[in-house]
Amino acid sequence: MTEFYYTKAKERKEDIDNMNIVICCKFVPCPQDIEKNIDGSVSFDRATWEISEFDLQAVEAGMVLAKATGGKLIAVSVGSSRIEASQLKKDLLSRGPDELYLVSDDELTDADTGVISTILAKAAEKIGADIVICGEGSADYYYQQTGCQIGERLGWATLNYIDSIEAGDGFLKVERTLESKIEVLEVPLPAVLSVTTNINTPPRPNMRAILSASKKPVTMLSLSDLGITSIAENVKVVSTIAPRSVDRKNIVVSGDTMEVAAAEFVRCLKVDGVL
Amino acid sequence: MIGGAKKLSGGGKVTAIVLGTEDDANNICKLGTDTICWLGEQGNRLVDDFIPTIINLIQSRVPDVFLIGSSVCGRAIAGRVAAAIGTAAIVGTKEIREIDGGITASHMIYGGDAVRIEKLLGKTLVAIVGAGFSDAAEPVTGNGVVEPVPFIEPVVKVKLIETKEKPPSNSGVATAKRVVGVGRGFSSKEEIELAKELAAELDGEVGYSRPVTEGDPPLMKGEPYIGVSGIQIKPDLYLAVAISGQTQHVIASNESKVVACINKDANALMFRHSDYGIVADFKEALPALTKAIKAAR
């Protein structure tokens, strides 16, 4: 795969009007639909697919920024041909994006973050993104890597764990909560930001948004449209198995009154030496 | 992390990249690392400003494994280094092994429903590890060398406008010996007080399940939650109150010595993952338990 790390320094965007705001969304099998087999293997064969829940906040953050700046909101998703399902496209577009780009190829089933971020970086360039917003992690693998990798590949300002985005005069003002403090930062454009679930509470799409979703443009891109000729994986999945559950005693404590039950409960904990 | 690196190296060389004072660098030396690449003090810079310097170090030294602590900046470093050197980072690394001359790393996926093992195809494994990855390194008498590393100016500059204090959170929950878990069944801060009173009696901390911190509207917005994507705990006692027992939560607490639960729904999954349970409304059970603990201790 062609490396283009730091090769194309996009010219700094000095004004924040008419921005192209790109949000990266992952479609994933619904985590609750996992099937665990006796041999420890897991399957999502019968799962319904949905937008990765952490990306809903990214879409809404993009929506709020697009409204504040008069920008255009463009969603991009990368994955196997499963992502072409019309219900997924409609669901995403009903949440606000003006249009959607899909890069689908069955070779991308289970592609690693290096591959996915390369494709997303190429797509962001092709679309002419001024800002790329990702969710902090995905509901299936939760690597929390994609946004950081896209930014590094593009050589743009790159920050993760963003709790708030405000449009400033030629820059974005963002807040990032670290373990011990909150940083308030001025970010030049173009930029790639990964947002936390604390950034907003995404509203449910209303009927009008749902109806208009099917009229919005969807563009299919192939890997070759993005100038990618081959996919080189960086890591290979060796195995995926359900962890063995921990054996517990499963004793239900009861008593004639709550006081009696509580005393017995406390006695058990004391015997186990954990009080 | 240094303990883990030393074990992994199997007698090979361990290099630490240190951001901090010269004393910090010298102290790391005493933990038995062979080389310390000292980045200097952070000063007014962001941790992220040091990423180009770190990338340069990894590119020039080509380690077999690059370990990074699991923090916000740690995850940013991992992602950007991985992209720069052409690999994919592993997050939440549980175990790293050498099998048939290749390096593999295991980590949880699907919110803890599965463990995935991945094999590195490139030269350097980039792995984010948490506190539980390995026992801490013991001080040794060694003769590690501190090498000051020149700072590489980032091409793109993010400006720090100000640093704000973080409101106090229940971050003590990660290391508490006894944890009272507050779940979706709680509907007000007054009800959470009942759990806090019990936690105080236990000399423990209150922890939250994800719906409590991220629900609509969230009861405890922005607080860390117990979950595979949040914080993982391994106290002596974990008491899950009004928590249904979803995998993401169970996996993040199943290394607790004893797990107990209170739930008014006798069919709640949490009972299957508990040593002891009480089927009751927590509003009655919590005050009774607080009283019983007071009497017993």
Q: Mean pLDDT check: name the lowest of A89-98, A121-130, B100-109, B187-196.
A: B100-109
Using the predicted structure, report yes or no on whether residue B235 has a pLDDT greater than 90: yes
In Å, how far are A79, A262, A263, B209, B257 from B240, measured between CA atoms?
38, 15, 18, 9, 13
Q: Which of A13, A58, A25 is nearest to A172 (CA)?
A: A13
Q: Could you say which residues from 120 to 149 on chain B have a Cβ atom under 8 Å away from some Cβ of chain A?
A: 120-122
Check pLDDT > 70 for residue B113.
yes
pLDDT at A10: 60
Over residues B59-67, the mean pLDDT reads: 96
Each residue's pLDDT tens digit, B275-297: 999 999 999 999 999 999 999 87
The bridge status of strand A72-79 relative to strand A20-24 is parallel
Query: pLDDT of B11-52, one tens digit each?
Result: 889 999 999 999 999 999 888 899 999 999 999 999 999 999
Average pLDDT over every residue of B201-213: 93
User: Which residue is closest to A36 within chain B, CA to CA?
Assistant: B113
Q: Which of B113, B229, B273 sits opposite A248 (nearest CB)?
A: B273
B84–A contact, CB cutoff 8 A: yes
Containing A186, the helix (H) or strand (E) segment is strand A181-187
Side-chain-side CA neighbours of residue B235 (13 Å): 27
Check if B260 contacts A (Cβ < 8 Å).
yes
pLDDT at B222: 76
| A20-226 CATH choice from 3.40.50.300, 3.40.50.620, 3.90.650.10, 3.20.20.70 | 3.40.50.620
Q: Closest partner residue to A161 among B72, B155, B293, by Cβ?
A: B72
Q: Where are the domains of chain A?
A: 20-226, 246-275
B172 with B202: CB under 8 angstroms? no
Whether the CB of B23 is below 8 Å from some CB of chain A: the reply is: no
How does residue A6 score in pLDDT terms, banded at 50, 70 and 90?
very low
Query: Which among B83, B118, B276 has the least Cβ separation from residue A265?
Result: B276
Could you report the per-residue pLDDT of A195-232, keeping only the tens digit for each? 999 899 999 999 999 999 999 999 999 999 999 998 88
**Better-scored residue on pLDDT, B31 or A16:** B31
For residue A5, pLDDT beyond 60: no
Burial of A70 (0-12, 13-18, 19+ CB in 10 A): exposed
Tokens of B233: 């705990």
Question: What is the distance between the alpha carbons of residues A183 and A180, in angstroms, rounded to a whole number?
Answer: 10
| Rounded Cα gap, residues A261 and B276, in angstroms | 11
Give the pLDDT of residue A8.
45
Nearest to A79 by CA among A97, A101, A60, A61: A101
Q: Domains of chain B by range and CATH?
A: 2-148 (3.40.50.620), 171-296 (3.40.50.1220)
Quote the pTM value.
0.87
